Structure 1
Amino acid sequence: MTDAEWAVVRPLLPVPGWLRGRGGQPEAYCHRAMLDAIRYLVDNGIKWRAMLADFPPWDRVYAFFRRWRDHALVREFHDRLRGRVREESGRDAEPTA
């Protein structure tokens, strides 16, 4: 992910509970590294266990993805990103169809 892409994506990510004072431990890996790993997996169609050593361990990336999926954060992130793209193109943030 380029720095320009990260600048767009970063504010759209949900804030972890420990940063909002809700307790819990800080996460061991950067969200940018996790998203890069997930993008690599989707783009190349590899299996979780075939994740390159340049990324965090596959089981940590999978746990991150699974937690986001189970709490509907993947859908929320997608909806926020879609709304931003639509607004930048001069359209209403919510699709009518």
Structure 2
Amino acid sequence: MTDAEWAVVRDAMPVPSWLEGRGGQPEGYCHRRLVDAVRYLVAGGITWRAMPADFPAWDRVYALFRR
């Protein structure tokens, strides 16, 4: 994902609770990496569990986008 694409997508991402002072802990993965993982999944037509190890764990990627 280019920086220009990320600038558009970033505004649509949910703001983590801990950044808004509502408690919780910092997230373990960068949102940009999570979006890149979903784009890879869609482009390649692979299953969630076939996500390469270069990306965050498939269940963390799935958890963000199942909301």
Give TM-score, length-normalised by structure 1: 0.63
- The CA deviation at 1:12 is 2.6
Distance in 2 of aligned mates of 1:65 and 1:18 = 19
Larger radius of gyration: 1
What is the RMSD computed on CA atoms of the aligned residues? 1.2
Partner residue, 2:19 = 19
- The CA deviation at 1:34 is 0.4
Spell out, residue by residue over 1:36-82, the C-alpha distance to the aligned partner (whole angstroms, 9 max, x if none).
1011111211001100111011121112222x2xxxxxxxxxxxxxx
Does residue 51 (structure 1) correspond to residue 57 (structure 2)? The answer is no
More helix by share: 1
Distance in 2 of aligned mates of 1:48 and 1:23 = 30
Q: Give the letter for the 1:30 counterpart.
A: C
- The CA deviation at 1:14 is 2.1
- The CA deviation at 1:11 is 2.2
Percent identity between the two aligned chains: 75
Distance in 2 of aligned mates of 1:30 and 1:38 = 13
Partner residue, 1:3 = 3
Gapped regions of structure 2 (runs ≥ 5): none
Gapped regions of structure 1 (runs ≥ 5): 69-97
Give TM-score, length-normalised by structure 2: 0.87
